[in-house]
Structure 1
Amino acid sequence: MIVEYNPLHSGHLHLLEETRRRLGAETAIVCAMSGNFVQRGDFALVRKHQRARAAVESGADLVLELPLPWAVSSAETFADGGVQVLSATGVVTDLAFGSEIGEAAPLMELAGCLLLPAYPKELRRRLDSGLPYAACRQAAVEALLGPEKAALLESPNNILGVEYCKALLRRSSPMRPLSVRREGSAHDGTLEPGAHPSASAVRALLRQGETERALSLLPSAMERAYREEAAAGRAPVFAEVCQRAVLARLRTMTETDFAALDQGKEGLCHRLYEAVRSSATVEEVLAAAKTKRYAYARLRRMVLWAYLGLTPADVPETVPYLRPLAANETGRRLLARMRQSAAVPILTKPADGRTLGAEARRLLALEAQATDLYTLAYPDLSAARGGGEWREGPVILGGHAPF
């Protein structure tokens, strides 16, 4: 599974349980999980090791980190990074994910359409009209597959599922897609009585100070992890807590610095540069730079990349290593198998990074820097000691010695 667990909720448990029901009770589940920052250009609510621990306590067996540049990129790049991580293990046979349709075959057909030579031409014709990318993509697919199939792209989990399938096809992965129907509140929807909550709704409750109500909606392991982190002054983590640090970074950047982040070369860098100089908050920056063509998530990612000091030039062509965040006894056995089967090195302790090549070491250093910047959003600044990435290893559950 490719996950964020920001935070882990009952809908995620349903996917874990249904996957085991379909594949067999003894099925081991490996997760590729975002670290301290997530795909929409935001800070994770709880730091990565605690979310990974909650995942293992809730049914996963091994949680591997999705490296930072892939975790905070577009849905396409996020999905591709997750497929790379899971493929590189050499042990994963199926890729399970939730979707509104609950079937993999239609999503694979859509993914195949997006890889057709005719698709970029159809897309470009529509992008030239200035419409939002999502609308243009759906219209291009409708021209190739018809309206019924294109309508599947109106739902967020279907869209992400298509990106997973596209990554499988593009990389000729032997992993089989397995889609489970998503149940409960919509991806960004409000809470519905008796339904699985959305992660965004839980975060909204916490932001509003309704802590007990929010925690009552979480599985016991995630609730426990949250309470422990809150007691230590490390949760909840919200980006606005270190807004001044983000703005300080943005205001020291030149237009050339912003241009390095604008992969589409569409002038978005100029809009952000100007917005930074006329705005007093990050939300004002985003509102000033926003147009109907650019999604807020894309702008948020650009701002986050700027804060973290990331540029597209920092992203290796492929994921260069695997980093376990948490494992149980089954996960430890999988790691032992992966020592023989993995396509890239496995880092079970920070010192393992010394054996990597220069590009991979640079990525590891960027992860460490990002973690130090993440801690600046802790509610208690005294808990934001630097260097944590070099001190903390995987969470091992089951009472055995580490690896």
Structure 2
Amino acid sequence: MAAAGIIAEYNPLHLGHVHLMTEARRLLGPETGIVCVMSGNYVQRGDFAVAGKAARAAAAVRSGADLVLELPVPWALSSAEGFAAGAVEALRATGAVTHLVFGSEGGDAAPLARCAEALCSEAFPPKLREEMKKGDSFPAARQRALEALLPKEDAGALSRPNDTLAVEYCKALRGSGIQPLAVPRRGAAHDSGAIGGGFASASAIRAMLRRGEEEAALGLCAPAMAEAYRAERAAGRAPASLASCERAVLARLRFLEEEDWASLDLGNEGLYRRFFRSSRSAASLAELLEAVKTKRYPLARLRRMVFRAYLGLPPAPPPEGPAYLRVLAANGRGTALLAGMRNTAALPVLTKPAAVRRLGPGAQRLFGLEARADRLYALACPDPAAVPDAWRTGPAIVRGEAG
């Protein structure tokens, strides 16, 4: 069975996400399987997911997906490049995915692919070094460097948030055999905090939840997501919030020595010294980030560094990619895809956590990191005791539903 891949966080799953799945089948055929690679309990901007991965994955399957695979936490809490590389590698490893479908402000994959090729060319690094000397942020320097190699209308993709991530997808897709398929984004812009045309960004919905406007926020989610969120809240598992465990995070950071921070500073630009000094006295994460930030570093990068330190993650994801494909949820068509993957998958497919013990040391280390991260995620939930342990959590199988 041919399948389309989607990379997502579903934090939370909203109507724009459902539209993307619907468009994937409209463009590729109604029998196309939808395989999602989804961040687990942590998201790329450096935060806890508002609801746990099991609930979000099950809601995705009830909203159009057939199979949801977990993007392991080292990639979920990585740069856009690392996030895309890990997720694309997971889709490639299924052996079943022919297209990667993503939302795009431009709605055309061709200029995004041209940007990807230019970024990977030998001509780009010297241009970037030249621009970085001007002291601007990395995103601004990168766009100017790209404009030196491409028409401005192509390079402009890096000024639009969905297209910026899509360019990283296109970079990761090179040589994979998977084709990019851009779908015009509908409604409010990504991370805009706005609502447009009846579609809200996930950022806007999270902001409404933080303000206590729960019913209005859930009305902008996919119905299955709204139902799942209410059930998670009733069980004491949602919403997960950094405020709930801020002192636990700060306590962990105060244990770290300067060399620990240095190992996380991949740019070797002295950022670790600012973190080390500030982490010793900051009384809140807001105070810590305020002391560390400069115009050179995007806030998301600083937040990811905090979370990688808190979780004890390595400074970067393993270059070889994920060590297994962990199933979070599936329906009937998804289980058929899984059956086919017995012959096509390039990585072990994990449906029972205990099965990781039969895999190699790399897989066992990765699952151990994931299990520890899940235990710490529980501290961000209203009732930590209500969050199941990773070693006892299998996939959600949704019966009687197929895309």
Q: Give the shorter-chain TM-score range.
A: over 0.9
Cα distance between partner residues in 1 of 2:86 and 2:391 = 23
Tell me which moved more, 349-358 or 391-400.
391-400
Map 1:183-332; keep pairs closer than 5 Å: 183-192=186-195, 194-312=197-315, 315=318, 317-332=320-335
Aligned to 1:45: 50
- In structure 2, the residue corresponding to 1:260 is in which secondary structure? helix
Check if 1:143 corresponds to 2:148: yes
Tell me which moved more, 242-251 or 350-359.
350-359
Aligned to 2:166: 161
Cα distance between partner residues in 1 of 2:196 and 2:71 = 33
Check if 1:99 corresponds to 2:99: no
Cα distance between partner residues in 2 of 1:94 and 1:399 = 26
TM-align CA RMSD: 1.3
Paired residue total: 396
Q: What percentage of aligned pairs have identical amino acids?
A: 58
- In structure 1, the residue corresponding to 2:97 is in which secondary structure? coil
Deviation at 1:315, TM superposition (A): 2.9
One-letter amino acid of the counterpart of residue 163, structure 2: N
Kept in 2: contact 1:95–1:175 (CA 8 A): yes
Unaligned residue ranges in structure 2 (runs of 5+): 1-5
One-letter amino acid of the counterpart of residue 326, structure 1: A
- In structure 1, the residue corresponding to 2:197 is in which secondary structure? coil
Picking from 119, 133, 142, the partner of 2:124 is 119
Cα distance between partner residues in 2 of 1:161 and 1:12 = 15
Aligned to 1:12: 17
One-letter amino acid of the counterpart of residue 181, structure 1: P
Kept in 2: contact 1:29–1:62 (CA 8 A): yes
Q: 1:332 to 1:201 in 2, by over 3 A?
A: same
Deviation at 1:192, TM superposition (A): 2.8
Cα distance between partner residues in 1 of 2:127 and 2:319 = 30
Cα distance between partner residues in 1 of 2:216 and 2:316 = 43
One-letter amino acid of the counterpart of residue 296, structure 2: R
Deviation at 1:194, TM superposition (A): 3.4
Kept in 1: contact 2:135–2:296 (CA 8 A): yes
Map 1:65-104; keep pairs closer than 5 Å: 65-104=70-109
Cα distance between partner residues in 2 of 1:68 and 1:23 = 30
* CA deviation map 1:89-139 (0-9, x unaligned): 001000000010011111001101101100011001111221100001100
* CA deviation map 1:57-106 (0-9, x unaligned): 00000000111111110000100001000000001000000010011111
Aligned to 1:396: 397
Cα distance between partner residues in 1 of 2:305 and 2:273 = 12
Cα distance between partner residues in 1 of 2:387 and 2:86 = 29
Deviation at 1:150, TM superposition (A): 1.5
Aligned to 2:61: 56
Kept in 1: contact 2:187–2:196 (CA 8 A): no
Cα distance between partner residues in 2 of 1:335 and 1:138 = 40
- In structure 2, the residue corresponding to 1:77 is in which secondary structure? helix
- In structure 2, the residue corresponding to 1:263 is in which secondary structure? coil
Aligned to 2:3: none
Cα distance between partner residues in 2 of 1:376 and 1:192 = 31
- In structure 2, the residue corresponding to 1:312 is in which secondary structure? coil
* CA deviation map 1:327-382 (0-9, x unaligned): 00100010011011100111110111011111110111000000000000111244
- In structure 1, the residue corresponding to 2:200 is in which secondary structure? coil
